[in-house]
Structure 1
Amino acid sequence: MTSDHTQPTPAPFLRVVRGSPTPEETAALVAVLTARARAIQAARSRAAGAAPRSGWRDRARLLGVPPRPSPDAWRRSFHPG
């Protein structure tokens, strides 16, 4: 079963209205716009409450210190304390 549904062509992302830029100039403009959009997105995510995690909230500290090599280290590796 085949379908003859064709997708509409999306509007262009960038349109030159005057002049004829070189491919390098167009690429530079796209790079600047992309970098600016990513910087804005990063600033919004930082402002949205992505506060740095406190060391007190880090649950890895509950695991304890890994055992140090010694004759009875195998006991400490299983039973904390």
Structure 2
Amino acid sequence: MTADETPAEVDAPAHTPVLRVVKGDLTPEELAALVAVVAARNAAAANAAGRTKPAPRSEWGHPSRQVRAAHTFGPDRWRRSTFGR
């Protein structure tokens, strides 16, 4: 640390720019609009990545499969009871 540097300047990490305008002369309003669009797009991508669907649950052993309709009486109903009609 030299005499003209403060401790905050020494401890601060060097930041690399995330966005760099290579061509053109932007006004502060245009630059702010560009930064807002890029930030919104990154936030939408991060939100979409966090909303992954869980794997579908198997319904094979669900208790509702054990519930059967009551038997109805009538001609030939014993044969149709196996197909649930």
TM-score, L = length of structure 2: 0.47
TM-score, L = length of structure 1: 0.49
RCO higher in 1 or 2 (8 Å CA, sep ≥ 6)?
1
Higher helix share: 1
